[in-house]
């Protein structure tokens, strides 16, 4: 497959994945874990997909300082100068802007930057590559371009993209591209169903492709302080002054998602485009979404990640078991439960409350049990 010469792919790898606790921890966030028992972690799988499009030297990772070691351990082929380490997480805008600013200084400000989260599942790599290639064509034309995922159900777990008119006449090399009318927050169930009925909405997977200069110019306009701080850091990044400038500037950088900082305000003036993605996409956001991706071990819809021989089930259905120990897990007369067994924590919860695992981690932190997080 021919590489895209002017394309640089960034993998933002941050967050603690608190809805997947206690599997996902601060010391080992979910992107470092093989949730599908595939032989590759989510990060490794994401890297392979993007290296096949951009080339290994054109893939960068943005992550926390304390995760640089584990990232390099999992990706020994990663060019070390392409790691952008954040002292403190500042949501997605800061790390995308930093990578774009540094890479623009190294390779020219008309290079195309693509941002793809480290923790997503892509089933059809060939179709994914086609969508990315088309998004690069649209980005070269000056748009911030997102890849909109075909909504297969009225999900309340994802944001949505409402798209507008076709850009095929303006950009013949991207016949599937459209303008973006608006970005919509996670809706309630009734609203999500209404979105699906219109046929005008797609899921927002947070995939963005754009020229570096387009991104940086938008930041300078919409978030001038953030732009100024990132610019100072980027100027010093490849010099001996990097650490001192980062320590001076990073703490004051605004914590804001890329959608809010750039995509939403730019879409209001027609500067954002969308390429549809039909490549089989999933976001492992909680144990319910994980269960949907795992095969059933019995005719009673038991899902197991770990040694299935260590799980014994009787008169139980719809459970998900994640086992990291050699202990046997016995289920008797329990339905639709989450059971996660690790060396130091046992989590038992109804699947219907999987989104509330995040609140459990907040309670643990409040009670001073940081050792469990």
* pLDDT for res 300: 78
Confidence of residue 187 (pLDDT cuts 50, 70, 90): confident
Task: Report DSSP state, residue 335.
Answer: B
Q: Is residue 164's pLDDT more than 90? A: yes
Q: What are phi and psi of 321, to 5 degrees?
A: -120, 125
Rounded percentage of the chain residues whose pLDDT exceeds 90: 84
Across residues 167-186, what is the average pLDDT? 94
Helix (H, G, I), strand (E, B) or coil at 75: coil
> What is the spatial distance between Cα 203 and Cα 150, in angstroms, rounded to a whole number?
6
- Identify the band that residue 230 occupies on the pLDDT scale cut at 50, 70 and 90: very high
Mean pLDDT of 47-66: 96
Task: Give percent of the chain above pLDDT 70.
Answer: 100
Alpha-carbon distance 149 to 286, whole Å?
19
Mean pLDDT value across residues 40-58: 96
Stretch among 29-38, 99-108, 211-220 having the lowest mean pLDDT: 29-38
C-alpha 42/C-alpha 373 separation (Å) is: 20
pLDDT at 151 over 90: no
Q: What is the pLDDT of residues 322-364, one digit of tens each?
A: 999 999 999 999 999 999 999 999 999 999 999 899 999 999 9
For the stretch 265-300, pLDDT in tens is: 999 999 999 999 989 998 888 999 899 899 887 777
CA 224: distance to chain centroid?
A: 25
Flag the least confident range among 10-14, 176-180, 247-251, 297-301.
297-301
Q: Does the pLDDT of residue 252 top 80, yes or no?
A: yes
Tell me the average pLDDT across 290-317.
89
Q: For 33-47, 108-122, 299-313, which range has the lowest pLDDT when averaged over its residues? A: 299-313
> 116: pLDDT confidence band, cut at 50, 70 and 90?
very high
Beta strands per DSSP E along the chain: 7-13, 59-64, 83-86, 112-115, 120-122, 144-149, 159-166, 178-184, 201-211, 272-277, 281-283, 303-305, 311-314, 320-323, 329-332, 337-341, 346-350
Q: What is the DSSP string of 167-194?
A: -TTT-TT-TT-EEEEEEEPPPPHHHHHH
Q: Is the bond preceding residue 2 a cis peptide, omega within 30 degrees?
A: no
Say which range, 88-97, 148-157, 173-182, 364-373, has the weakest mean pLDDT: 148-157
User: Distance (Å, rounded) from C-alpha 121 to C-alpha 118?
Assistant: 9
DSSP reduced 3-state for 216:
helix
Under the banding of pLDDT at 50, 70 and 90, the label for residue 77 is very high
What distance in Å separates the CA atoms of residue 15 and residue 23, rounded to the nearest whole number?
Answer: 14
Among 6, 25, 95, 10, residue whose Cα is nearest residue 61: 10
CA distance 313 to 319: 9
Whether residue 229 is predicted with pLDDT greater than 90 in this model: the reply is yes
Q: Which range, of 22-26, 152-156, 260-264, 323-327, averages the lowest pLDDT?
A: 152-156
Question: What whole-number distance in Å separates Cα of residue 316 and Cα of residue 300?
Answer: 7
Model confidence at 254, pLDDT cuts 50, 70, 90, reads: very high
Query: What's the confidence (pLDDT) of residue 174?
Result: 97
Q: What is the CA radius of gyration of the chain?
A: 21
Q: Closest by alpha carbon to 236, among 227, 246, 228, 226? A: 246
Residue 43 has pLDDT above 90, yes or no: yes
Q: What is the mean pLDDT of residues 43-48?
A: 97
Nearest-angstrom CA–CA distance, 121 and 51: 16
Q: What is the pLDDT of residue 97?
A: 98
Report whether pLDDT(16) > 90. no
DSSP result, 257-299: -HIIIIIHHHHTTT-EEEEEE-S-EEE--SHHHHHHHSPBSST
Residue 1 has pLDDT above 90, yes or no: no
For residue 186, pLDDT beyond 90: no
Quote the pLDDT of residue 156.
82
């Amino acid at each position: 497959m021919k590489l895209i010469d002017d394309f640089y792919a960034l993998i933002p790898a941050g967050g603690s994945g608190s809805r997947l606790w206690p599997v996902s921890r601060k010391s080992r966030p979910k992107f470092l874990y093989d949730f599908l028992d595939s032989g590759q972690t989510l990060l490794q799988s994401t890297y392979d997909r993007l290296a096949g499009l951009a080339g290994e030297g054109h893939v960068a990772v943005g992550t926390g300082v304390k995760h640089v070691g584990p990232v390099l351990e999992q990706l020994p082929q990663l060019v070390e100068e392409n790691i952008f380490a954040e002292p403190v997480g500042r949501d997605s805008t800061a790390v995308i802007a930093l990578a774009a600013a540094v890479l623009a200084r190294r390779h020219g400000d008309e290079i195309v930057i693509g941002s793809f989260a480290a923790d997503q599942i892509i089933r059809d790599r060939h179709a994914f590559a086609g969508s990315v290639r088309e998004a690069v064509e649209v980005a070269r034309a000056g748009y911030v371009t997102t890849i909109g995922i075909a909504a297969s159900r009225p999900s309340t777990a994802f944001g949505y993209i409402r798209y507008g008119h076709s850009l095929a006449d303006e950009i013949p090399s991207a016949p599937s591209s459209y303008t973006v009318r608006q970005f919509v927050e996670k809706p309630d169930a009734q609203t999500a169903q209404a979105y699906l009925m219109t046929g005008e909405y797609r899921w927002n997977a947070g995939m963005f492709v754009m020229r570096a200069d387009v991104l940086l110019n938008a930041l300078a306009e919409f978030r001038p302080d953030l732009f100024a701080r990132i610019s100072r850091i980027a100027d010093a990044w490849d010099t001996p002054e990097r650490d001192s400038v980062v320590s001076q500037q990073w703490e004051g950088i605004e914590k804001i998602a890329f959608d809010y900082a750039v995509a939403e305000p730019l879409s209001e003036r027609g500067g954002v485009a969308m390429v549809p993605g039909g490549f089989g996409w999933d976001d492992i956001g909680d144990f319910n979404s994980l269960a949907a991706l795992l095969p059933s071990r019995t005719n009673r819809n038991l899902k197991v990640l770990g040694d299935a021989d260590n799980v014994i089930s009787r008169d139980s259905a719809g459970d998900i078991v994640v086992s990291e120990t050699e202990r046997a897990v016995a289920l008797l007369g329990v339905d639709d439960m989450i059971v996660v067994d690790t060396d130091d924590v046992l989590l038992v919860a109804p699947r219907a409350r999987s989104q509330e695992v995040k609140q459990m981690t907040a309670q643990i932190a409040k009670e001073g049990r940081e050792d469990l997080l």
